[in-house]
Structure 1
Protein backbone atom coordinates (compact mmCIF):
# COMPACT_ATOMS: atom_id res chain seq x y z
CA UNK A 1 0.00 0.00 0.00
CA UNK A 2 1.08 3.53 -0.76
CA UNK A 3 -0.45 5.06 2.39
CA UNK A 4 -0.08 4.07 6.02
CA UNK A 5 -2.88 5.69 8.03
CA UNK A 6 -2.73 6.21 11.78
CA UNK A 7 -6.21 6.81 13.22
CA UNK A 8 -5.96 9.04 16.28
CA UNK A 9 -9.62 10.00 15.99
CA UNK A 10 -12.13 7.17 15.54
CA UNK A 11 -14.58 9.46 13.70
CA UNK A 12 -12.42 9.04 10.60
CA UNK A 13 -13.77 5.49 10.34
CA UNK A 14 -17.14 7.03 9.33
CA UNK A 15 -15.67 8.00 5.94
CA UNK A 16 -13.22 5.08 5.70
CA UNK A 17 -10.19 7.37 5.57
CA UNK A 18 -7.84 4.43 4.94
CA UNK A 19 -9.55 3.79 1.61
CA UNK A 20 -10.02 7.47 0.70
CA UNK A 21 -6.37 8.31 1.43
CA UNK A 22 -5.07 5.35 -0.58
CA UNK A 23 -7.35 6.05 -3.53
CA UNK A 24 -6.48 9.77 -3.60
CA UNK A 25 -2.73 9.18 -3.29
CA UNK A 26 -2.71 6.51 -5.99
CA UNK A 27 -4.73 8.76 -8.33
CA UNK A 28 -2.40 11.72 -7.78
CA UNK A 29 0.79 9.73 -8.41
CA UNK A 30 -0.66 7.88 -11.40
CA UNK A 31 -1.81 11.16 -12.96
CA UNK A 32 1.77 12.41 -12.75
CA UNK A 33 3.17 9.20 -14.27
CA UNK A 34 4.61 7.89 -10.99
CA UNK A 35 4.20 4.25 -9.95
CA UNK A 36 2.46 4.21 -6.55
CA UNK A 37 4.26 0.97 -5.64
CA UNK A 38 7.55 2.90 -5.59
CA UNK A 39 6.51 5.30 -2.82
CA UNK A 40 4.96 5.54 0.63
CA UNK A 41 3.10 8.23 2.57
CA UNK A 42 2.20 8.37 6.27
CA UNK A 43 -1.24 9.82 7.08
CA UNK A 44 -2.25 11.02 10.55
CA UNK A 45 -6.04 11.13 10.97
CA UNK A 46 -6.51 13.47 13.90
CA UNK A 47 -8.78 16.11 15.42
CA UNK A 48 -8.63 19.91 15.52
CA UNK A 49 -6.74 20.00 18.82
CA UNK A 50 -3.92 17.84 17.49
CA UNK A 51 -3.65 19.64 14.16
CA UNK A 52 -3.67 23.03 15.92
CA UNK A 53 -0.69 21.84 17.98
CA UNK A 54 1.10 20.68 14.82
CA UNK A 55 0.24 23.91 13.01
CA UNK A 56 1.66 25.91 15.95
CA UNK A 57 4.79 23.78 16.23
CA UNK A 58 5.65 23.67 12.52
CA UNK A 59 4.10 26.81 11.03
CA UNK A 60 3.84 29.12 14.05
CA UNK A 61 0.06 29.32 13.46
CA UNK A 62 -1.72 28.20 16.65
CA UNK A 63 -5.06 27.34 15.03
CA UNK A 64 -6.66 24.28 13.47
CA UNK A 65 -6.44 23.79 9.73
CA UNK A 66 -7.80 21.11 7.42
CA UNK A 67 -4.62 19.44 6.21
CA UNK A 68 -0.87 19.75 6.76
CA UNK A 69 1.95 18.07 4.88
CA UNK A 70 5.63 17.50 5.48
CA UNK A 71 7.58 16.41 2.41
CA UNK A 72 10.57 14.16 3.03
CA UNK A 73 12.60 16.26 0.56
CA UNK A 74 12.27 19.79 -0.77
CA UNK A 75 10.98 19.34 -4.31
CA UNK A 76 9.50 22.75 -5.09
CA UNK A 77 10.30 24.43 -8.38
CA UNK A 78 12.38 27.62 -8.29
CA UNK A 79 10.30 29.38 -10.96
CA UNK A 80 6.66 30.35 -10.35
CA UNK A 81 4.47 27.94 -12.35
CA UNK A 82 7.24 25.44 -13.14
CA UNK A 83 6.72 21.72 -12.56
CA UNK A 84 8.73 20.37 -9.61
CA UNK A 85 11.27 17.64 -10.24
CA UNK A 86 9.69 14.23 -9.69
CA UNK A 87 10.88 12.13 -6.76
CA UNK A 88 13.27 9.27 -7.35
CA UNK A 89 11.47 5.93 -6.92
CA UNK A 90 12.52 3.54 -4.20
CA UNK A 91 13.87 0.06 -4.78
CA UNK A 92 11.83 -3.13 -4.94
CA UNK A 93 10.48 -3.78 -1.46
CA UNK A 94 11.84 -0.42 -0.22
CA UNK A 95 9.52 2.37 -1.39
CA UNK A 96 10.72 5.97 -1.23
CA UNK A 97 9.13 7.99 1.58
CA UNK A 98 7.35 11.03 0.14
CA UNK A 99 6.47 12.45 3.54
CA UNK A 100 3.65 12.83 6.03
CA UNK A 101 0.13 14.26 5.91
CA UNK A 102 -2.10 15.19 8.87
CA UNK A 103 -5.82 15.80 8.41
CA UNK A 104 -8.29 17.14 11.01
CA UNK A 105 -11.80 15.74 11.33
CA UNK A 106 -13.73 18.72 12.72
CA UNK A 107 -12.33 21.26 10.26
CA UNK A 108 -12.91 18.96 7.29
CA UNK A 109 -16.47 18.16 8.41
CA UNK A 110 -17.24 21.85 9.00
CA UNK A 111 -15.86 22.88 5.58
CA UNK A 112 -17.73 20.12 3.76
CA UNK A 113 -20.99 21.04 5.49
CA UNK A 114 -20.53 24.77 4.74
CA UNK A 115 -19.87 23.99 1.07
CA UNK A 116 -22.76 21.50 0.82
CA UNK A 117 -20.36 18.75 -0.25
CA UNK A 118 -20.14 15.14 0.90
CA UNK A 119 -17.41 14.78 3.52
CA UNK A 120 -15.79 11.95 1.54
CA UNK A 121 -15.47 14.19 -1.56
CA UNK A 122 -13.92 17.03 0.44
CA UNK A 123 -11.50 14.71 2.21
CA UNK A 124 -10.50 13.12 -1.10
CA UNK A 125 -9.74 16.60 -2.46
CA UNK A 126 -7.66 17.48 0.62
CA UNK A 127 -5.72 14.22 0.37
CA UNK A 128 -4.91 14.91 -3.31
CA UNK A 129 -3.91 18.44 -2.25
CA UNK A 130 -1.63 17.07 0.50
CA UNK A 131 0.00 14.55 -1.83
CA UNK A 132 0.73 17.29 -4.37
CA UNK A 133 2.42 19.29 -1.59
CA UNK A 134 4.61 16.26 -0.84
CA UNK A 135 5.59 16.26 -4.52
CA UNK A 136 6.69 19.90 -4.43
CA UNK A 137 3.55 21.64 -5.68
CA UNK A 138 2.41 24.75 -3.82
CA UNK A 139 -0.11 27.59 -4.02
CA UNK A 140 1.74 30.56 -2.50
CA UNK A 141 2.75 32.11 -5.84
CA UNK A 142 0.06 32.78 -8.47
CA UNK A 143 1.31 30.53 -11.29
CA UNK A 144 2.11 27.74 -8.82
CA UNK A 145 -1.46 27.99 -7.48
CA UNK A 146 -2.90 27.82 -11.00
CA UNK A 147 -0.79 24.74 -11.77
CA UNK A 148 -1.68 22.99 -8.51
CA UNK A 149 -5.40 23.74 -8.74
CA UNK A 150 -5.46 22.52 -12.34
CA UNK A 151 -3.83 19.26 -11.31
CA UNK A 152 -6.25 18.81 -8.41
CA UNK A 153 -9.23 19.39 -10.71
CA UNK A 154 -7.90 16.94 -13.32
CA UNK A 155 -7.09 14.22 -10.78
CA UNK A 156 -10.46 14.55 -9.04
CA UNK A 157 -12.22 14.57 -12.43
CA UNK A 158 -10.59 11.25 -13.31
CA UNK A 159 -11.88 9.98 -9.96
CA UNK A 160 -15.42 11.06 -10.89
CA UNK A 161 -15.49 14.01 -8.49
CA UNK A 162 -16.47 17.59 -9.34
CA UNK A 163 -14.11 20.55 -9.63
CA UNK A 164 -13.64 21.75 -6.03
CA UNK A 165 -12.88 25.29 -7.20
CA UNK A 166 -16.00 25.72 -9.32
CA UNK A 167 -19.14 25.29 -7.35
Structure 2
Protein backbone atom coordinates (compact mmCIF):
# COMPACT_ATOMS: atom_id res chain seq x y z
CA UNK A 1 0.00 0.00 0.00
CA UNK A 2 1.32 3.42 -0.90
CA UNK A 3 1.78 6.06 1.65
CA UNK A 4 -0.01 9.32 1.11
CA UNK A 5 3.23 11.31 1.04
CA UNK A 6 4.65 9.24 -1.85
CA UNK A 7 1.57 9.87 -3.99
CA UNK A 8 1.63 13.55 -3.11
CA UNK A 9 5.29 13.94 -4.08
CA UNK A 10 4.80 12.07 -7.38
CA UNK A 11 1.93 14.39 -8.22
CA UNK A 12 4.05 17.43 -7.43
CA UNK A 13 6.87 16.20 -9.66
CA UNK A 14 4.42 15.42 -12.49
CA UNK A 15 2.84 18.87 -12.16
CA UNK A 16 6.23 20.60 -12.15
CA UNK A 17 7.33 18.63 -15.22
CA UNK A 18 4.11 19.44 -17.08
CA UNK A 19 4.36 23.14 -16.30
CA UNK A 20 8.02 23.30 -17.33
CA UNK A 21 7.32 21.54 -20.64
CA UNK A 22 4.36 23.80 -21.34
CA UNK A 23 6.41 26.92 -20.70
CA UNK A 24 9.51 25.78 -22.62
CA UNK A 25 8.67 27.76 -25.79
CA UNK A 26 8.34 30.92 -23.71
CA UNK A 27 12.00 30.61 -22.78
CA UNK A 28 13.27 29.86 -26.31
CA UNK A 29 14.37 33.47 -26.78
CA UNK A 30 17.09 34.08 -24.25
CA UNK A 31 17.54 37.50 -22.65
CA UNK A 32 20.90 37.86 -24.41
CA UNK A 33 19.18 37.71 -27.79
CA UNK A 34 16.60 40.39 -26.99
CA UNK A 35 16.90 43.89 -28.35
CA UNK A 36 16.90 46.80 -25.89
CA UNK A 37 14.24 48.67 -27.88
CA UNK A 38 10.81 47.09 -27.11
CA UNK A 39 9.33 48.16 -30.45
CA UNK A 40 12.19 46.61 -32.42
CA UNK A 41 12.03 43.47 -30.24
CA UNK A 42 8.31 43.19 -31.02
CA UNK A 43 9.11 43.44 -34.74
CA UNK A 44 11.76 40.74 -34.39
CA UNK A 45 9.34 38.45 -32.54
CA UNK A 46 6.69 39.03 -35.20
CA UNK A 47 9.12 38.11 -37.97
CA UNK A 48 10.55 35.03 -36.23
CA UNK A 49 7.04 33.79 -35.44
CA UNK A 50 6.43 33.60 -39.21
CA UNK A 51 9.61 31.62 -39.93
CA UNK A 52 9.77 27.82 -39.68
CA UNK A 53 12.49 26.16 -37.64
CA UNK A 54 14.39 24.09 -40.20
CA UNK A 55 15.32 21.53 -37.53
CA UNK A 56 11.98 21.15 -35.71
CA UNK A 57 9.83 21.85 -38.81
CA UNK A 58 6.60 22.13 -36.83
CA UNK A 59 7.65 25.11 -34.75
CA UNK A 60 8.35 28.70 -35.51
CA UNK A 61 11.86 30.03 -35.07
CA UNK A 62 10.51 32.12 -32.20
CA UNK A 63 9.28 29.03 -30.30
CA UNK A 64 12.15 26.65 -31.04
CA UNK A 65 15.19 26.19 -28.85
CA UNK A 66 17.27 24.51 -31.59
CA UNK A 67 20.66 26.09 -32.27
CA UNK A 68 19.76 26.87 -35.90
CA UNK A 69 16.60 28.64 -34.72
CA UNK A 70 18.72 30.64 -32.28
CA UNK A 71 21.05 31.61 -35.14
CA UNK A 72 18.07 32.74 -37.24
CA UNK A 73 16.68 34.81 -34.34
CA UNK A 74 20.07 36.50 -33.97
CA UNK A 75 20.26 37.05 -37.75
CA UNK A 76 16.80 38.67 -37.83
CA UNK A 77 17.74 40.99 -34.96
CA UNK A 78 21.02 41.94 -36.66
CA UNK A 79 19.21 42.78 -39.90
CA UNK A 80 16.71 44.92 -38.00
CA UNK A 81 19.60 46.75 -36.29
CA UNK A 82 21.04 47.43 -39.75
CA UNK A 83 17.82 49.27 -40.57
CA UNK A 84 16.11 46.76 -42.87
CA UNK A 85 12.31 46.71 -42.96
CA UNK A 86 10.33 43.67 -41.86
CA UNK A 87 9.67 42.70 -45.48
CA UNK A 88 13.36 43.07 -46.38
CA UNK A 89 14.37 40.83 -43.45
CA UNK A 90 11.84 38.16 -44.48
CA UNK A 91 13.00 38.41 -48.10
CA UNK A 92 16.62 38.03 -47.00
CA UNK A 93 15.88 34.87 -44.98
CA UNK A 94 13.62 33.56 -47.75
CA UNK A 95 16.33 34.07 -50.38
CA UNK A 96 18.82 32.10 -48.27
CA UNK A 97 16.57 29.20 -47.19
CA UNK A 98 13.76 29.04 -49.77
CA UNK A 99 10.00 28.66 -49.41
CA UNK A 100 10.26 25.99 -46.73
CA UNK A 101 11.49 28.51 -44.13
CA UNK A 102 8.15 30.34 -44.29
CA UNK A 103 5.39 28.95 -42.07
CA UNK A 104 2.92 30.22 -44.67
CA UNK A 105 4.68 29.70 -48.02
CA UNK A 106 3.36 31.61 -51.04
CA UNK A 107 0.87 29.79 -53.26
CA UNK A 108 2.67 28.96 -56.49
CA UNK A 109 3.29 25.91 -58.64
CA UNK A 110 6.25 24.71 -56.55
CA UNK A 111 4.32 24.94 -53.26
CA UNK A 112 0.88 23.77 -54.39
CA UNK A 113 1.45 20.38 -52.75
CA UNK A 114 2.12 22.06 -49.40
CA UNK A 115 -1.26 23.76 -49.61
CA UNK A 116 -3.32 20.90 -51.05
CA UNK A 117 -1.88 17.91 -49.16
CA UNK A 118 -4.08 18.45 -46.08
CA UNK A 119 -7.18 18.62 -48.29
CA UNK A 120 -6.22 15.40 -50.09
CA UNK A 121 -5.54 13.70 -46.76
CA UNK A 122 -8.95 14.78 -45.47
CA UNK A 123 -10.68 13.52 -48.63
CA UNK A 124 -8.82 10.20 -48.46
CA UNK A 125 -9.84 9.79 -44.82
CA UNK A 126 -13.48 10.56 -45.63
CA UNK A 127 -13.41 8.04 -48.49
CA UNK A 128 -11.91 5.39 -46.21
CA UNK A 129 -14.63 5.98 -43.60
CA UNK A 130 -17.31 5.80 -46.32
CA UNK A 131 -15.95 2.51 -47.71
CA UNK A 132 -15.61 1.00 -44.23
CA UNK A 133 -19.17 2.01 -43.36
CA UNK A 134 -20.51 0.48 -46.57
CA UNK A 135 -18.69 -2.80 -45.90
CA UNK A 136 -20.06 -2.99 -42.38
CA UNK A 137 -23.66 -2.61 -43.54
CA UNK A 138 -25.77 -5.54 -42.38
CA UNK A 139 -26.71 -7.72 -45.33
CA UNK A 140 -30.39 -8.44 -45.88
CA UNK A 141 -31.63 -11.76 -44.53
CA UNK A 142 -32.53 -14.61 -46.83
CA UNK A 143 -35.59 -14.06 -48.98
CA UNK A 144 -38.90 -15.77 -48.20
CA UNK A 145 -40.24 -18.70 -50.19
CA UNK A 146 -40.94 -18.28 -53.84
CA UNK A 147 -44.33 -19.25 -55.30
CA UNK A 148 -42.77 -22.35 -56.83
CA UNK A 149 -41.30 -23.45 -53.48
CA UNK A 150 -44.64 -22.92 -51.71
CA UNK A 151 -46.45 -25.00 -54.35
CA UNK A 152 -43.88 -27.77 -54.00
CA UNK A 153 -44.24 -27.83 -50.20
CA UNK A 154 -48.03 -27.87 -50.54
CA UNK A 155 -47.75 -30.85 -52.87
CA UNK A 156 -45.64 -32.63 -50.24
CA UNK A 157 -48.28 -31.91 -47.61
CA UNK A 158 -46.14 -29.79 -45.32
CA UNK A 159 -47.38 -26.40 -46.43
CA UNK A 160 -49.50 -26.01 -43.31
CA UNK A 161 -46.40 -26.33 -41.08
CA UNK A 162 -44.29 -23.78 -42.97
CA UNK A 163 -44.38 -20.10 -42.00
CA UNK A 164 -43.96 -18.34 -45.34
CA UNK A 165 -42.60 -15.16 -43.78
CA UNK A 166 -39.74 -16.94 -42.01
CA UNK A 167 -36.77 -18.30 -43.94
CA UNK A 168 -36.04 -22.02 -43.62
- Normalised TM-score (structure 2): 0.28
Larger radius of gyration, structure 1 or 2? Answer: 2
Greater share of residues in strand: 1
Greater share of residues in helix: 2
